[in-house]
Amino acid sequence: MNENAAARKPEPGASPPALAAPEAGATCATGIPTFDNIIWRETTPKIRGFWRAGPVSVLRHRCPDRTAAIAHGAEADILIFVEEIVEPEPVRSFVDGRSLGGGARPGAFCLVPAQAASDWVTRAGFACTHIHFAPSIRLLAGIEGDMPVLGWEGDPAVSRAVIEIAREAEAGEPGARLAVEGRALALAAHLLRRAAGRRAPAERAAAPLSPERLRRVADLVEADPSQPLGVADLAEAAGLSPAQFARAFRAATGETPHRWVMARRIARARAMLAEGRATTAEIALDCGFASQSHMTDVFRRFGAPSPARLRP
């Protein structure tokens, strides 16, 4: 899959990509290396969907029965979030020889850092979501060194982040990469603070982006509305590190980069609709939306009138 693609997803209304179920002891074939390198020694999982948004990959699977798996030396940091479980405490899990303990339950998660070896045995079926963070996420977040091992824990903030990241990646809309990256950066920082036993520090007021830096960001966004941008791209245009950019951008605009970009696309589309020189479908594509229906949906979510009402 193309690292620069906004996201991979089935066509609207279609099922996730069909994959041949591997034999026990084999591997899967999703195109996400950190998952495909896992060796399944008993029952293999049923893949429910897999998507990539820039440096973040999302995979959902279900193991209907007892299974065992082993993985070594993944390139990505992997967060595993339990959605469903057939019976209490069915997962026996070790990372670099250290037991993650009990506690595997719906809403619980564990974090397996890059290059760690892990071993898993389940006594019954379960369903989970994997969030795979490429190494660039740590760099973008300003995290030095490796991520920590986290055992089965529960955290409402993590649950919300996983659900939001999975939803954005699965939707596969233009701008998905920017939205997913932003949430992934915040989640990585949250996990690091959690491992250190610290609450999120009270943020000091950041200096807002200067008008000149904000103009350069706007020029990049408007040069080609359809291009898949990430946080690093916007930060580079502003001449800041991604971590500095995120704080300064919010201080200047009061919004996340994703919402700001989508608001600019809506404003451009509204102006073109009012002119009435192009069809609604042409305007949608010109303004960076996937289709006319996607533009209509985004207008609705942002509280704007429907495109049909804006035409002269």
- The per-residue pLDDT for range 43-75, each reduced to its tens digit, is 778 888 888 877 888 889 888 777 778 887 678
On whether both 131 and 230 belong to a single domain, the answer is: no
240 and 264 fall within a common domain: no
Q: What is the mean pLDDT of residues 184-207?
A: 72
**Same structural domain, 68 and 133:** yes
Same-domain check for residues 282 and 238? no
CB 176 within 8 A of CB 7: yes
Residue 8 lies in a domain: no
- 130 and 221, same domain (yes or no): no
**To the nearest 10°, the Cα dihedral for 160, 162, 164, 170?**
-160
Q: Is residue 152 part of a domain?
A: yes
Answer yes or no: is 283 within a domain. Answer: yes
Query: pLDDT tens-digit profile of 129-184?
Result: 999 888 888 877 777 778 888 888 899 999 999 998 888 888 777 777 888 888 88
Q: 130 and 88, same structural domain?
A: yes
Domain assignment of residue 164, yes or no? yes
Q: Return the C-alpha torsion angle 232, 235, 237, 238, nearest 10.
A: 180
At 73 the pLDDT is 67
Tokens in use for 21?
């179920």
pLDDT of residue 158: 92
48 shares its domain with 166: yes
Q: Convert the pLDDT of each residue in 6-49 to its tens digit.
A: 333 333 333 333 334 444 567 777 877 778 888 887 777 888 88
**How many C-beta atoms surround the C-beta of residue 17 within 10 A?**
15
With a cut of 90, say whether residue 1 has pLDDT above it. no
User: 97: which DSSP letter?
Assistant: T
Q: What is the mean pLDDT of residues 295-311?
A: 89
SS3 state at 199: coil
What's the CATH code of the domain at 161? 2.60.120.10
User: Is residue 16 assigned to a domain?
Assistant: no
List the domain range (segments joined by +) for residue 299.
Answer: 259-310
